[in-house]
Amino acid sequence: MAQERRQLDWRWIWIGAAIVVVLVFFAVRSLTRERLQIRVMQVSRQELVSVLSTNGRVEPEENHEIHAPVTTTVRAVYVRPGDTVEAGKVLAVLDDVDTRARVAAAESGVRSAQVSLEAATHNGTQEQQQASAADIARAKLDRDQTERDLNALLKLQATGAASASEVSGAKQRLASATATLDAAESSSRSRYSPAEVERARAALAEAQANLAAARDTEEKMTVRAPAAGTVYSIDVQPTSFVEAGKLMMQIANQQRMRVRAFFDEPDLGRVAEGQKVVVKWEARLGHTWTGHIERVPSTVISTGSRNVGEVLVALDSSDGELLPDTNVTVTVTTSSQANMLSIPREALREEQEHEFVYRVVNHELKRTPVVTGTITQTLVAVLSGLNAGDTVATGTITGLPLQEGIPIKEVR
């Protein structure tokens, strides 16, 4: 019995020793193994500014395009790109031979329409009035003669020298002569109907409109500046052939420019009128222009592989150095929040639509769920899950994945 007790005691001694050895092994391994080096950042409160960047094109607020009024040739050009001109300055002269011929034809048309209206409102031309007077005089003579003939026959009939049939024939001839006289007099008083008079008036109005258009075209053959500004585009030169409607020149006030920015369709929901904008141009590195969104798009258009909305940006001040049709970079501030608890974007993890971070606790990583808010290009607002001063891991030095519970060495 005593021997069995001694054997049992030794068995427990050996088991205890084995446990101690195992504990010592893991303790030594934990203390001696290499710790994973990670980059960390401290959770802090700061201003979160969310921005969007895209491309844009500079354009004048008021662009004056000069088009060829007719198909013709260019006689002379008196300006060069970059010239500053006053309103009314002669910029070019076009060949006006055909336009002068059109003016002459239109003037002739007006005179003809005036004659026609004069005739319609005065019962015919002078020749027609003279002819009408002659017809009336002749009709009166015929009527008077037939009346005398009838009276003579009536006297003869009373003495039996003329028959009843002769008297009846004389009465018919008198009636016919009277009718002819009445028709001639009526024609002299109202040769034209009211509808014909109105048609003559309309023809004169049309002829006058044609003349005004011809004279306007003739005046445009001398090309003048419609407003003061800078001539920034010239597409013609002396002897150039131009078709009607061709764009020849463009003039704008370079002190009043704006930007047409092209935002991708998914970003349009973050864009609103009044948001602040910064404009940069590669030709002027280090220089920026500020402005604000003046108008948001009402539709989306396709440009190549992109579906974009065109946003108009009003510049707060233009120094004249932004040139029309230049390509610029547009950055708009879509939101700005002060004193927000935030972490770097690279510290945020997502798994099955759940967001979390690896928080550093006692030199180990602890997976911590978070609720986020505004996300900028570099920062994420944290609404819950972390406190100011907490330390979170952003990644490893070696590129290995982060894991919960592993010993770490912090690298800032």
CA distances from 147 to 64, 81, 133, 140, 178 (A): 82, 91, 21, 10, 9
pLDDT for the residue 174: 74
pLDDT digits (tens, 9 = 90+) for 109-129: 999 988 888 877 777 665 566
As a whole number of angstroms, the distance between CA 85 and CA 253 comes to 10
247-252 vs 276-280, strand pairing mode: unpaired
As a whole number of angstroms, the distance between CA 37 and CA 395 comes to 9
Which of residues 360 and 14 earns the better pLDDT score?
Answer: 360
Q: What is the mean pLDDT of residues 341-350?
A: 90
354-361 vs 72-77, strand pairing mode: unpaired
Give me the DSSP letters along 192-259: S-HHHHHHHHHHHHHHHHHHHHHHHHHHHTEEE-SSSEEEEEE---TT-EE-TT-EEEEEE-TTSEEE
Q: What is the mean pLDDT of residues 328-348?
A: 90
Highest mean pLDDT out of 84-88, 200-204, 320-324, 359-363:
84-88
pLDDT digits (tens, 9 = 90+) for 297-308: 989 999 888 999
pLDDT digits (tens, 9 = 90+) for 234-278: 999 999 999 999 999 999 998 889 999 999 999 999 899 999 999
What average pLDDT is seen over the chain? Answer: 84
Least reliable range by pLDDT among 40-44, 170-174, 312-316, 335-339: 170-174
* Dihedral of alpha carbons 99, 101, 107, 110, sign: negative
Ramachandran angles phi, psi of 254, nearest 5°: -75, -5
What percent of the chain has pLDDT above 70? 85
pLDDT digits (tens, 9 = 90+) for 43-62: 999 888 888 999 999 999 99
pLDDT of residue 42 exceeding 70: yes
pLDDT of residue 25 exceeding 60: no
pLDDT for the residue 32: 41
pLDDT for the residue 24: 52
> What's the full length of the chain, in residues?
412
Which residue from 392, 406, 404 is spatially nearest to 39, judged by alpha carbons? 392
Least reliable range by pLDDT among 20-24, 181-185, 330-334, 397-401: 20-24
The upper half-sphere exposure of residue 211, i.e. CA atoms within 13 Å in the direction of its Cβ, equals: 16
- CATH superfamily to which 51-61+253-337 belongs: Efflux pump adaptor protein, beta barrel domain (2.40.30.170)
Give this prediction's pTM.
0.59
pLDDT for the residue 28: 44
As a whole number of angstroms, the distance between CA 289 and CA 292 comes to 10
Rg value, the chain, Cα: 51
For domain 64-94+223-251, say whether CATH 3.40.50.970 is its number: no
Host H or E run for residue 44: strand 44-60
As a whole number of angstroms, the distance between CA 118 and CA 115 comes to 5
For domain 32-48+339-411, say whether CATH 2.40.420.20 is its number: yes
Domain boundaries along the sequence of the chain: 32-48+339-411, 51-61+253-337, 64-94+223-251, 102-215
What percent of the chain has pLDDT above 90? 46
pLDDT of residue 8 exceeding 80: no
The confidence band for 362, taking pLDDT boundaries of 50, 70 and 90, is: confident
pLDDT for the residue 401: 86
pLDDT digits (tens, 9 = 90+) for 126-180: 556 666 666 667 767 777 788 787 777 777 777 777 777 877 877 788 788 777 7
Which residue from 255, 277, 240 is spatially nearest to 77, judged by alpha carbons? 240
Which of residues 7 and 248 earns the better pLDDT score?
Answer: 248
The confidence band for 196, taking pLDDT boundaries of 50, 70 and 90, is: confident
pLDDT for the residue 397: 87
pLDDT for the residue 274: 94
pLDDT for the residue 4: 53
